[in-house]
Amino acid sequence: MKLLECPINGIRPISEFTYGGEYRNMPNPDTCSDSEWAAYVHYRNGAPGLKKEWWYHTPSGTWFIAERNTMTDKVNRTYLLGQEEAK
Amino acid sequence: MTSRIAKKRGEWINRDKPLTFQYEGQTVQGYEGDTISSALWAAGINVLGRSFKYHRARGVLSFANHDVNAMMTDGVDTNIRADVWPVADGMDIKAVNTIGGVLKDKNKYIDYLSPFLPVGFYYKTFYKPKSLFPFWEDKIRKAAGLGEVNFNYPRIIKPKKFAHCDVLIIGAGLSGLSAAVKAAEQGLDVIVVDENKQAGGSLTYDYAGEQTTADTLTSLLGKVESNPNIRLITDAYAGGFYGDKLVPLVGKDGITKVWAKSVIVASGAFEQPPVFRYNDLPGVMLGSAAQRLIHRYAVKPFNKGVVVTANDYGYRTALDLASVGVDVVAVIDMRRNGAPRDLSQKVRDKGIAVHISSCIYEVIPTSDKLGVKAVSVCPYDDISAGADSGHTVRLSCDGVAMSAGWAPAAALLYQAGTKMRYDYSVEQFVPDELPEGVFAAGKVNGVFDSKARQLDGQRAAAEAAAFLGKTVDVVTVPKVEMAPPSHPYPIVEHPKGKNFVDFDEDIQVKDFINAAKEGFDNIELMKRFTTVGMGPSQGKHSNMNAIRILARVRQLPVEKIGTTTARPFFHPTPIGHLGGRGFHPHRYTAMHEWHVDNGGVMMDAGMWMRPAYYQYRGRTMSAMEAVQEEALAVRQQAGMIDGSTLGKIEVFGADATEFLERFYTGKFSKQKIGESRIALLLDEAGVMVDDGLAVRVDDEKFYVSTNSSNAATVYREMQRNVQLWGLQVTLVNLTGAMAAMTLAGPKSREILSTLTKADISEASLPDGNMIQAEIAGVDAKVMRVSFVSDLAFEIHVPYKAGLHVWKQIMAAGESHGIRPFGTDVQRLLRLEMGHHLISHDTDGLTNPYEAHSEALLKMDKPFFIGQRSLKIIAKKTLNKKLVNFVLEKDFTGDMPNECNLVIEDGNIKGRVTSIAYSKYLNRVIGFAFVAPEQGSTGSTFSIRTDSGAMVKATVVKAPFFHLLDNDGE
Amino acid sequence: MQNGIFKSPIAFAQAPLKPINGIVNGMETAITMADKAIEASRYELLSICDVSALNRFGVKGPNAAEWLAAASLTLPEEKNSWTLQGKRELVLRLGSSEYLIEEPLNSQMVAQLNALPVNQSGVHKVIRNDASFIVSGKLATTLFSEVCAIDLSGDALEENRLVMTVIAGVSVTLLRQMLNGQSVYRIWCDGTFGPYLWKTLLGITEEHGGGAIGFSFYYEIN
C-alpha cells in the first residue's frame, strides 16, 4: 500500500500518514475483569483479514478510520469516526 | 581495423561527432551515440571483460542492456555497464575484475582450475576448521565482487521526482507504442518509458534484410510524437513495481517515481542463448545482439560467421548479416522441421547453407582463447536433445549468432502479483491472471507476430481505458498460427563442459545436474545453490534455460518447476540514485541566530536545533567547563534557556476540563484561572508517556505544555481522543507559534521586573502560577516553573517576538551576570532539583508507582487513560524503584555512565538512568532504578562501570541541595 | 502592542543572499534580492519570495464560520478551498472548521478581526506563525515535482482548491492564485520549519537557474 484516501483531503502517498493502530472497542473499565482488561491492553489480533484501523493525515491533522484487508493490503473504505454511514 | 559499415537508415550514431577515448591504454574512436561496447566492437576490440568466477574473456552477448560481463571503471565510477553507457570524448576506462588488464588477466588461471570448483565448492570446503575461516573469508571476499568501490566518490545529488499519469506503458516497442496511441486517443494521459536511447524496440533492429520494419516505426513514432497526451521517455528503465502502481523510472540523472492509474507492461522478451561448449567466447553472440550492432550502431558483428538457431529468428538474423556483407557460412537449425519454406528459401537465395536437425557441438577457440576460430557442427535430435558427436563437421568462422528462443521480460509483472502459466504454443511463460489495472501486451504476453503485436497493444490500451471508466470498443487479437518462437530444450551436453547457462556467474550445464543430484532440485533451492540468476543481470539470459534443465532432470513439465521472481531493481541501479536528494527537515527557534552568534554549540534535538551549551562570547571551553559555568550562573545569579521546543497546546471548549480529566491523571475541575497543574499522561497500560503543565487560562481554555520530544504525539493523541469521546473541545497546536524561554536563578525576578510593570512578586506570582503580562512591550504568558531552579520564570511570547524579548532580557540581566544556558546544562540543573525526565529516566514499561509519582494519580476520578491498568498494577508488588543517589564525597575513579547496571550478589537489580558531576554540589549525583528493598534513603547499592569496577552509591532525598549542608561534616 | 522590530522567520536563512531589508508590518523582511531585471527573469523562470511578513489571522472551531460570516466575510463553501475578499484578502478554509485570513498591504481586516471579541463558544482565535512563500515561474511544477508527491499539474489546485500536503518533508498548505496578473503558487508552513524549507526550495530553484526575489516584487512598499 503506497496510497491512502483521507476522507477530507483525498488520495495521498502513505508518507503523509501516521498509523494509529487497530480500532478496538474498549471494555467498560468499571465492570470488566482484570483479565479482560489486560487482554484489551496487551493482546493484538495479528491474523490477516479485514481490520478497522486508525490513520492520521499529518499535514491536516485528520484522524480517520480505514477498513483495510491486511491479507491483500487493500483498503475497502475510509471515513471519519462515526460517519461510517454517510460514506 | 574497423568494423564500422556504411551509414544505415535509423542508425543511432552521429557521424558528425567523432569521439576519442582510452580503453585499457588503447586509443579508440567512436561516435556520439555509441555505447562503450559498440565503439569497441567497431574498433575490432572483442574482449570487453572477464567473467566473474573463472575470469574467462567475454565480448558482446545480448546487447540488450544486460551484458554484465562487460563492465568498466573510469577510476571514479565503477561497474559501468559498457553495453549501455555512452562513450564520451576523453574518457579513460578499463575493464573491472582483472589483474594486469583484460587481455592478460592474471586471474585467468582460475579457468583451468574450474573442474575443481564445482558449485557449492566454497560452502563445502572452507567451513572447517572453523579457526581458518577468517583467513579464507578474506581471500574469498577479495576474489568475489566485480568493480572496486571508490571511497572518495564525490557527492552528486540526484533529484527524485514525482510524475503522474493515467496509463504508464513500459516498453516503447511495437506493442507499447501501439498501446500509447490507442490510449491517448481516448483522452488519457500517457507516459511511455523505454530503457533504450531511442524508442522502437525490435523495430530498431529486427529488419530481416528489409526496410518494412523501419517504415512501420517511422509512421508509428510520428503518431506518438504528435500526440500531446503522450510523454515518451527514453533512456530510463522501469525499476520495479510497487504497491498502488508506483513505478520508479531510473534515468541517468535520477529516479522519477511515477504514480500511474493503470500500467501496461509491453516490455518484450529477452533472447535466450542455446547452450553448447564455448558458447561464451568473444564473437559468439545472440542473433538480436548481432542485429542491434548492425542497425543501431552500423557495426559488422563479425566477418565470417554461422548462425545457430532453434527458431525462425536465426534466419532473420542471417538475412541481416548477409545484408551488410558478412559471409554467413551456414544456418544451423536445431529443429527437425526447420523454418517455413519461404523464409528458408530467402536465406538459401543469399547463398547460405541451411542445416536442419543440426547443432553446434562446440566452438573451437583461437589459440589465445580470446576468439572464435571455427565451429564443430553435428547432427542433433531436438526431442532427446542428443548430439551425435561422432559425426562432426568443422566450419571455420570468426563469429556465431545464436537464436534459441525468448523469455518474457516479466519481472515487473511478477512483482505486481501476476500469475503466469506456461503456453506450449509459444513455449513460454505468459500472464494468466493479471492484477487489477495492470495489463500486458506484445512478446511479454506471448504475442510475436508483428500485426498481432500492434493489435495486442491496442487491446491492452482499450482494456486500460475501460478500467479507467472510458467507454471503448473491445479489440480482439486473432491467434496467428506459427511455430513456437522458443525451443523447449536448446541444450547440447558436452563431456568437457564449458557450455554456459549463466554468463554472470559462470554456471555450466553440469552444475545444474550436480545440484539436482545433491538434492537442490527445487527451483528456489537450485537458484541459491548454483547462484543461477543471482548475478547482476538477474537471470535475464539464464533463468529460462535453468528451468528447462531442471524440468528435464526431474522429468517434469516446465510449468511444474515454476519460476523465481526477479526483485527490484530491474537493472543494477547506483546507490546514489536510490538515495537521491534526502530531505531532513530541521526546526529553528526564533532565537536561533542569537545562539549561533553567541557561541551556542548547536545540537540536533529531534528535528530542532538547540544549543547544548555556549562557547560564550568567543571563549573556548570544554563542554564540561561550559556546562558547570552555566549551571553555576543559574545557581548564583541567573541564566536563561530557549525553551521554544516545548510542546504548547491550547485546549478550548465547553468540555475542556472534562477532556483534561480523562486525558491526564490529575484533577482540573477546581483549578483556578492562572494556576498550573502537572499534566501526567499515561498510556492504556499505565506506562508514563509525558508530563507537562496545564494552566487554566479561563473557564473553557487551558494552555498545556508537553515535553519537547512529545509535542506532536501528545497533540495527535489529544485529537484522537476528542473524536473518540465526542467532546466539545477544540485543540490548537501552538508549539511552533510560540517562543518560550526560562529565566532562572536568584536574580531572575529582579531582572524580569525591569522589563514589566506587572507584579511578579512571590505573593502575586507564586510557584505554579501564571499571569498574562507585557514583557519588553510584548504580550506574554509568564509562568513560575521550578524545573531547573526554585525561582524561575517561563515566558511564552509569539514566535516573531521571541528574539526581541530574549535580547531584552539578556541585556537587562547583563549587570547581574546572566548567562544563556543550553540543554546539557538543563539536564544537570533538573537533576540537582531531583526531577526525572520521562523516557530518559523512565522507559517503555515504567509505571508511576516505580517513579514515585503516586501523588499525581487521582484514582478517585471516574476515568483517565491508564487508570484501569493502574488498579491492577497497584495490587502487585513493585519490582523496581527510581531513586536519587550520590557517589562518595570526592569520588575519583571510574565514573559510571548512564545505563550501567546496579548489581548485587552478581544479580542485576537495576540501572543508572542519569548521572552527572555537579560543581555546585561538588558531588556526583544521579538517578537509578534499584530493587525496592534498596530504595530507602540512606541505603547503598553498587554500580558496575564499563570497565567492570564496582562503585558504591547512596540513596538520598531530592532535591540534592541538602548535600551542601552536610559539606562541613 | 509590540515594541521593537521583529524578524521574518526566514531572515537568518536569507542573510547569505545579502538582501536589502525593510520593515513590513513591523517585521524585518527581504525587500529586494537582486536588481529589477534579474528578479524579473527569475520571476519568469522560477523564483521564490518570502512573504511571511503579511498579516494573518486564524480562527478555529465549530462556530468559526458563523463568527466570520457575522464579520461580513465571504467564506469558501468547500472544505480545503479559498476565496478572495474585496480588498484581495485571502480566506483559506483549512479542512472543515479552521480558517486562515491573510491580508495584502494596506488592509485593516486582520486588525479588525483581532479586535473583534468572541462572545460565543466554539470560536477560537489561533495565534499564527507562518513562514509563507510565493513560488512563480514556468518551472514551478518542475520544482514541485522534486519535493512533493502529489500531482499539482492536474486539477488538485483548480477551482480555488487548496491542499494540505508535505513538501520536502514539511507539512504545508498550498494553493495557486492570480497575483498581479500572473499565476503563482502560495505556500504556508510552520515558521520554525521556514528556514529549512526556504533553503531547500531555494537550492533546487537555483539548480534550475532561478532564484530568490524580494517582497517588493509583489507588494509596493510605501
Confidence band, pLDDT 50/70/90 cuts, at residue B153: confident
Q: How far apart are CA A60 and CA A8, in angstroms?
A: 9
Cell of C91: 480566506
Other C-beta atoms within 10 Å of B536: how many? 18
* pLDDT reading at A86 higher than 80: no
Question: If you write DSSP's letter for every residue of B299-364 in order, what string do you get?
Answer: B-S-SEEEEEESSTHHHHHHHHHHHTT-EEEEEEE-SSS-S-HHHHHHHHHTT-EEESSEEEEEEE
CB contact under 8 A, B723 and A37: no
User: How many Å lie between the alpha carbon of C165 and the closest alpha carbon of chain A?
Assistant: 5
With cut-offs at 50, 70 and 90, classify the pLDDT of residue B179: very high
Looking at residues B58-79, what average pLDDT do you find? 93
Same domain? B742 vs B630: yes
B943-952 mean pLDDT: 95
User: What percentage of chain B has pLDDT greater than the value 70?
Assistant: 99
Do both B651 and B640 map to the same domain? no
Residues of B in contact with A56 (CB under 8 A): 716, 719-720
Q: With an 8 Å Cβ cutoff, is B867 touching chain A?
A: yes
Average pLDDT over residues B872-878: 95
**Are residue B744 and residue B723 in the same domain, yes or no?**
no
Q: Measured between alpha carbons, how far is A11 from C96 in angstroms, rounded to an integer?
A: 17
Q: Which of B752, B742, B681 shows the shortest CA–CA distance to B710?
A: B681
Burial of B106 (0-12, 13-18, 19+ CB in 10 A): exposed
Q: Is C12 on the interface with B (CB under 8 A)?
A: yes
Closest among B326, B487, B495, B315 to B399, alpha carbons compared: B326
Q: How confident is the model at residue A16 (pLDDT cuts 50, 70, 90)?
A: very high
Partner A contacted by B652 (CB < 8 A)? no
In this complex, is the C-beta atom of B262 within 8 Å of any C-beta atom belonging to chain A?
A: no
CA proximity to B413, closest of B263, B282, B303: B263
DSSP states of C137-148: STTHHHHHHHH-
Tell me which residue in A32, A38, A73 faces B243 most closely, judged by beta carbons.
A73
B583 within some domain = no
Domains in chain A: boundaries: 3-79
Whole-angstrom distance between the N-terminal and C-terminal Cα of chain A?
21
- C2 has a chain B CB within 8 A of its CB: yes
Q: How many CB atoms lie within 10 A of CB B225?
A: 10
Q: Where are the beta strands (DSSP E) in chain C?
A: 6-7, 20-24, 27-32, 47-50, 56-60, 81-84, 90-94, 98-102, 124-126, 130-136, 162-167, 170-179, 182-190, 211-213
Average pLDDT over residues B630-656: 97
Q: Which of B174-183, B515-524, B956-965 has the highest mean pLDDT?
A: B174-183
Please name every residue paired with A51 in a beta bridge, in sequence order, or none if there are none: A68
- Domain end residue (candidates: B681, B711, B733): B733
Answer yes or no: do B244 and A37 touch at CB < 8 A: no
- HEC profile for B465-523? HHHCCCCCCCCCCCCCCCCCCCCCCCECCCCCCCEEEECCCCEEHHHHHHHHHCCCCCH
Read off the CATH number of the domain in which B898 is found.
2.40.30.110
Say whether domain A3-79 belongs to CATH 3.30.2270.10: yes
Minimal-distance CA residue of chain A relative to C93? A60
Selected for mutation to probe chain C from A17, A60, A62 (highest C CB count within 10 Å) is A60
DSSP state of B45: -
User: Region B699-728: what's the mean pLDDT?
Assistant: 95
Cα–Cα dist B449/B455, whole Å: 10
Total domains, chain B: 5
Cβ distance of B593 and C11 shorter than 8 Å: yes
Instruction: Collect all residues with Cβ–Cβ distance below 8 Å to B902 and sequence separation of at least 6.
Output: B908, B909, B910, B911, B912, B928, B929, B930, B931, B934, B941, B942, B943, B944
Task: State the residue range of the domain holding B174.
Answer: 160-270+407-467
SS3 state at C28: strand
Strand ranges for B577-646 from DSSP E = 600-605, 608-614, 639-642
* Cα four-point dihedral sign B750, B756, B759, B760: negative
- Taking residues C3-7, what's their average pLDDT? 74
| pLDDT for residue B966 is more than 70 | no
Average pLDDT, chain C: 94
What is residue B969's predicted lDDT score, i.e. its pLDDT? 40
Taking contacts as CB-CB distances below 8 angstroms, the residues of chain C near B155 are none
Which range is least confidently modeled, B7-11, B686-690, C111-115?
B7-11
Q: What is the CATH number of the domain that holds B719?
A: 3.30.70.1400
Provide the 8-state DSSP code for B441: -
B799 and B695: one domain? no
Gap between the Cα atoms of B437 and B245, Å rounded: 9
Q: Angle C192-C193-C198 (CA atoms, 0-180°, nearest 5)?
A: 120
pLDDT of amino acid B186: 96
**From CA B692, how far away is CA B712, in angstroms rounded?**
13
Neighbours of B696 (CB within 10 A): 23
Shared domain check, B463 and B548: no
How close, in Å, is residue B165 to chain C by CA atoms?
A: 9
Q: Is B747 in the same domain as B890? A: no
Q: What confidence category does residue B127 fall into, taking pLDDT thresholds of 50, 70 and 90?
A: confident
Question: Is B583 part of the contact surface with chain A (CB cutoff 8 Å)?
Answer: no
Let me know whether B629 and B696 are in one domain.
Answer: no
- Mean per-residue pLDDT for B205-213? 92
- Amino acid in position C150: I
Q: Is the Cβ–Cβ distance between B829 and B634 less than 8 Å?
A: yes
Alpha-helical runs (H) found in C3-119: 11-14, 36-45, 64-70, 109-115
What mean pLDDT value characterizes chain B? 94
Shortest Cα–Cα distance, A16 to chain C (Å) = 7
CATH 3.30.1360.120 in chain C, residues? 6-53+129-217
- Are C129 and B800 inside 8 Å of each other by CB? yes
**Nearest of B775, A58, B418 to residue C167 by alpha carbon:** A58
- In the numeric block, which cell numbers belong to residue C207? 539548480
pLDDT of residue B968: 41
CB distance from C147 to chain B under 8 Å?
Answer: yes
Using the beta-carbon criterion (under 8 Å), do A1 and B243 form an inter-chain contact? yes
Question: How do residues C81-111 score in pLDDT, each as one tens digit?
Answer: 999 998 899 999 999 999 999 999 999 999 9
Is the same domain home to B631 and B751?
yes
More confident residue, B734 or B76: B734
Question: Once rounded to an integer, what is the mean pLDDT over residues B921-940?
Answer: 95
- Which tens digit of pLDDT belongs to each residue from B482-534? 899 999 999 999 999 999 999 999 999 999 999 988 898 888 888 888 989 88
Which residues sit opposite C136 in a β-bridge?
A: C47
Which residue among B246, B716, B726 places its CB closest to the CB of A2?
B246
Among the partner-chain residues C95, C149, C150, the one whose CB lies closest to the CB of A60 is: C95
Q: Are residues B640 and B779 in the same domain?
A: yes
Nearest-10 crossing angle of helices B174-185, B212-225: 30
Place of cell 483549578: B671
Q: Please, which pLDDT band fits residue C3 given cuts at 50, 70 and 90?
A: low
Q: Are residues B540 and B444 in the same domain?
A: no
Q: Is pLDDT above 60 for A3? A: yes
Inform me whether the C-beta atom of residue C193 falls under 8 Å from chain B C-beta atoms: yes
- Interface probe for A, chosen from C81, C159, C165 (most Cβ of A below 10 Å), is C165
Average pLDDT over residues B52-58: 92
Contacts with C, B 755-784, CB within 8 Å: 776-778
What the block records as the C-alpha cell of B614 is 555556549
The answer on B513 and B432 residing in a single domain is no
A62 contacts chain C (CB < 8 A): yes
Q: Find out whether C170 and A57 touch, Cβ atoms under 8 Å.
A: no
B899, B718 Cβ separation under 8 angstroms = no
Of B581, B737, B800, the CB nearest to C27: B800
* CATH 3.30.70 residue window(s) in chain C: 56-126
Q: Are residues B541 and B684 in the same domain?
A: no
* B75 — pLDDT class (breaks 50, 70, 90): confident
Q: What ranges make up the beta strands (E) of B49-205?
A: 49-50, 57-58, 71-73, 80-81, 92-95, 160-170, 190-194
Q: What is the mean pLDDT of residues B158-185?
A: 97
Given the candidates 3.40.50.620, 3.40.50.460, 3.30.1360.120, 3.40.309.10, the CATH classification of the domain at C6-53+129-217 is 3.30.1360.120
Q: What value does the mean pLDDT take over residues B710-733?
A: 96
Q: What CA dihedral angle connects B546, B548, B551 and B556, to 10 degrees?
A: 160
Alpha carbon distance B229, B232 (integer Å):
10
Looking at the complex, report in whole angstroms how far the Cα of residue A58 sits from the nearest Cα belonging to chain C.
7
Q: Is B869 on the interface with A (CB under 8 A)?
A: yes
Which chains sit next to C, with 3 or more Cβ pairs under 8 A? Answer: A, B
- The pLDDT tens digits for C68-85 are 999 999 999 999 999 999
Can you name the CATH fold of C56-126? Alpha-Beta Plaits (3.30.70)
**Which residues, numbered 668 to 707 in chain B, qualify as contacts with chain A under a Cβ-Cβ cut-off of 8 Å?**
684-685
